[in-house]
Amino acid sequence: MPKLFRALLKKNKWFWDEPLPWLEQGDIPADPLEHLIPNQFRLSVYEVNDDRSRIERVAAAIAAKRHGDIDNVEFVVFDQSILDEVGIQIDTAPPLGDTCDAEVNTWHRDMINISANKLVAFAKRIVPTVQSDWVLAKKIHEVILESIRMSRYEWSKVNLKKKDELQQEALQ
């Protein structure tokens, strides 16, 4: 079964400090749901399998789209079979991703027709069992430089503040 990648934008919101005495058995805190807010009933993910280099490519492409500095990308990777368990479908012909890396865009998938009940069921399934992971800023920097050298990036979609310096660094 394919593995799916979901980036987490807010810092350190996926896990929490135990214990939360008010939390009922089998329930989860609501904060991690911030990372799972659908748009037009869809949630954007990338198919990465267990391939770390592919995860790093996706993370770097997402980081390059940001308007600030190169930074860590925090993410979760989960098995697509979880979606079957909670009744969420994957679009078989999704729109391409919108990153600067054309190949990464072909790995884009959309979870579709997401209702509130399905979203909560999905969150309750993955939040307690799937740990967040990071591609650190230093690695992101390396992958972006490599991608520039290999002409993988559509440069107009790179929004980083220091994109010109990066381009010069890559070409040195």
Partner 1 sequence: MSNKAETAPRRPHDTLINRQLLTEADPPFINLTDQGVAGLAYRLFTHISYTSGTASDLLQTPPETFEEAISDFVNAAKSVYVLLAKTSSTEESRSLQQPIPETIERIVAALFDAASDEEFEYGLTSQFASALGAIVHRYGVGGVETIQRHIGTGDVRVDSIIEALHTLARIQHTPSRSERLLLLLRNLFADSARVRCGAALGLAYLDDPKALPFLRQALERESSSSTRVCFQRVLEQLEDTERQG
Q: Where do contacts with partner 1 occur on this chain (CB under 8 A)?
A: 9-12, 14-18, 63, 66-74, 131-134, 136-139
Q: How far apart are CA 131 and CA 75, in angstroms?
A: 9
Q: Based on CB atoms, which residue is closest to partner 1, 80 or 132? A: 132
H or E stretch including 141? Answer: helix 137-149
Q: Based on CB atoms, which residue is closest to partner 1, 34 or 164? A: 34
Q: Which residue has the tokens 């979760």?
A: 76
| CB of residue 71 to partner 1, shortest distance in Å | 4
Q: Based on CB atoms, which residue is closest to partner 1, 9 or 89? A: 9
Length of the chain: 172
Is the Cβ–Cβ distance between 111 and 83 less than 8 Å?
Answer: yes
Is the Cβ–Cβ distance between 63 and 101 less than 8 Å?
Answer: no
Q: Based on CB atoms, which residue is closest to partner 1, 121 or 137? A: 137
| CB of residue 23 to partner 1, shortest distance in Å | 16
What does the block give as tokens for 93? 């012909």
| CB of residue 46 to partner 1, shortest distance in Å | 17
Q: Based on CB atoms, which residue is closest to partner 1, 125 or 139? A: 139
| CB of residue 162 to partner 1, shortest distance in Å | 12
| CB of residue 4 to partner 1, shortest distance in Å | 18
Q: Which residues contact 4 (CB under 8 A, 6 or more apart)?
A: 45, 46, 47, 48, 77, 78, 79, 80, 83, 109
CA-angle at 140, arms to 31 and 16, nearest 5°: 20
